Amino acid sequence: MDKILATIITIGDELLIGQTIDTNSAWMAKELNEIGVWVLRRVAVGDNWDEIWKTLDEESQHAQIILITGGLGPTADDITKPLLCEYFGGKLVVDEGALQNVKNIFKRLNRPMIERNLKQAEVPDVCTVIPNRRGTAPGMWFEKNGKIYVSMPGVPHEMKGMMIDYILPKLPEYYKMPFILHRTLLTAGVGESFLAEMIQDLESSLPAYMKLAYLPNFGMVRLRLTVTGLDKQALENELEETFLKLQGLVKEYMVTNTDETLETIVGRLLHSKKMTMGTAESCTGGFVAHLITSVPGSSKYYKGSIISYSNEIKKEILNVQQDVLDTVGAVSEETVIQMVKGAVKTLNVDYAVATSGIMGPDGGTPEKPVGTVWIAAGNKDQVTAEKFSFRFDRSRNIDLTATYALNMIRKFILEH
C-alpha cells in the first residue's frame, strides 16, 4: 500500500556551519510516524533564496507533505516568509489574530513594541494562518497542486506547540493514513554481527511490509521491528507475534522489551518497589543524576547526589578512607565501593550507584589510561563493582559511563 510521504526542510545557516544541532526533525518525525506519515527525507538548507526555492521544487517531487521550519524571525537574515509569499503567488497582509498575539506577548513581558515586531503579524494572503501560542511568529499552511506545505518557526517549543495544536490533528483530514507500528528491544553485551547470526532465520522470513533495524549505541544494540499497513488489528497481532519470537531468540542479552531509556526503566523499578536511590558521581560529574531527574516524577524515588569531583569531598562527605585514596587512588574498586556505602548512608537511600574514572583528554597514566572507569552499585548490605576501559573522547566517555552506571544499578535493583 502507498505510504503518505513527508519531507522536513530546515532553514538556517546555523545548521550548515555546525553551530546548532537539529533536534526538531527527530521530534517531528516521531510525531508524524504516530499518525501514519512516513518521513522520506530531511533536508537542511541555508538562509539562501535560490537554494530554498530549488529545494521546495525538488522536495515536492518526493513527498505529499512538506514541513518547513526556521527563518521566520524579525531580522534581515529571516527570508522564509517573503520567499513563500512569492513562491505561492500571494501578497503580505496583516493578520488580526497574529497581531493581537504579538501585542499580548509584549504586554505580558512589559516590553515596548517596535515596528519590526508588528511585521511579525504579516502573512501571505494565500495561506491559512497557524496560531503561535508560544511566540510571536505565526505559522503558515499552504496548498498547491495537491501538496501541503507548512511553515513553522525553528524555535523548538514554538514549533512543537503548532504541531500538537494544529498540524498533527489537521493532516489526517486530508489523507487515509496507514498505521506505522514499531516495537523495540534493547540488548547489552553482544555485538551487532552476533545478534544478526542469532536472528537470521527470523529476519529472512519477514514479509515485505515488516522491517528489522539494528541500532547500535554506547555498546548496546537496539532491535526495532516496524510494520506498515491499513488493518491495525491484524498488524498489531502480527507484530506482537514476531516480536515475541525475536525476544525469545535474544533473551539472554535483552535489557528491556520497550523503547524506553534506562533511566525510565530504573525509575519504574524503584517506584514499584517503593524504594529510593541516590548517586555518588566523580567522573560523570552529575550526568547520571541529570538523566535520572529528566524523568518526570523522579523526585518520588530519587533523593539526590554527592558529586565528589575532588578527593576532599569523597573523603569528607562520602567517607572514602584517606589510605584508600593514598594507596590505590580515586579510580579504584575500593573507592567506588566506599562511595556507594557513603552515599547510601549520607543520602539515606536504599540504593546507590557510584562512578570514578579518567575522562580525558588529560589525567591518564600508563597504569590508568584515559577511559579507565570503575562503577559500583549497591545497597547497605552489598555492593558490586566493575571496571571498564572506554578510551574515547571526554564527551563519549561520560555518556558511556553514565549508560553503564544506569544499567548496573538496574541489574542490582532487579536482583536485590
Q: Which of 123, 288, 353, 413 binds its own copies (CB under 8 A)?
A: 288
Q: Is 322 a residue that touches its own copies (CB under 8 A)?
A: no
Radius of gyration over every alpha carbon of the chain, rounded to an integer in angstroms: 26
Q: Which of 86, 192, 201, 240 binds its own copies (CB under 8 A)?
A: 192
Q: Which of 82, 229, 304, 364 binds its own copies (CB under 8 A)?
A: 304
Q: Is 111 a residue that touches its own copies (CB under 8 A)?
A: yes
Q: Which of 4, 11, 36, 45 binds its own copies (CB under 8 A)?
A: 45
For the CB of residue 226, give the shortest distance to its own copies in the complex, in Å: 7
CB contact set of 387 (below 8 Å; sequence gap of 6+): 333, 372, 373, 374
The residues pairing with 277 across neighbouring beta strands, listed in sequence order, are 302, 351
Q: Which stretch binds its own copies (CB under 8 A): 93-101, 166-174, 238-246, 360-368?
A: 360-368
Per the omega criterion (within 30 degrees of 0), is the bond before 112 cis? no
User: With contacts defined by CB under 8 A, how many residues of the chain interact with its own copies?
Assistant: 111
Residue 322 has phi, psi (to 5 degrees) of -55, -40
- The CA-based angle 142-148-151, given to 5 degrees, is 55
Q: Residue 141 to residues 72, 106, 132: CA-CA distances in angstroms? A: 14, 25, 13
Rounded to whole angstroms, how far apart are CA atoms 76 and 256?
A: 49
Hey, which residues between 134 and 173 contact its own copies (CB under 8 A)? 134, 155-157, 160
Phi/psi-derived region of residue 411, left when phi > 0, alpha when psi is between -120 and 50, beta in every other case: alpha
Residue 231 has phi, psi (to 5 degrees) of -90, 95
Q: Is 365 a residue that touches its own copies (CB under 8 A)?
A: no
Q: Is 290 a residue that touches its own copies (CB under 8 A)?
A: yes
For the CB of residue 188, give the shortest distance to its own copies in the complex, in Å: 15
Q: Which of 173, 296, 323, 326 binds its own copies (CB under 8 A)?
A: 296
State which residue, 26 or 328, has the beta carbon closest to its own copies: 26
Hey, which residues between 79 and 108 contact its own copies (CB under 8 A)? none
Rounded to whole angstroms, how far apart are CA atoms 401 and 392?
A: 11
Q: Which stretch binds its own copies (CB under 8 A): 26-34, 144-152, 250-258, 331-339?
A: 26-34
Q: Is 23 a residue that touches its own copies (CB under 8 A)?
A: yes
Rounded to whole angstroms, how far apart are CA atoms 375 and 222?
A: 23
Distance of CA 177 to the CA centre of its chain: 25
Q: Which stretch binds its own copies (CB under 8 A): 142-150, 170-178, 304-312, 405-413?
A: 304-312
For the CB of residue 233, give the shortest distance to its own copies in the complex, in Å: 22
State which residue, 93 or 215, has the beta carbon closest to its own copies: 215
Q: Is 215 a residue that touches its own copies (CB under 8 A)?
A: yes
Q: And the C-alpha cell for 14?
A: 546555523
Rounded to whole angstroms, how far apart are CA atoms 244 and 246?
A: 5
What is the enclosing helix (H) or strand (E) of 128?
Answer: strand 128-130
Q: Which of 2, 19, 208, 274 binds its own copies (CB under 8 A)?
A: 19
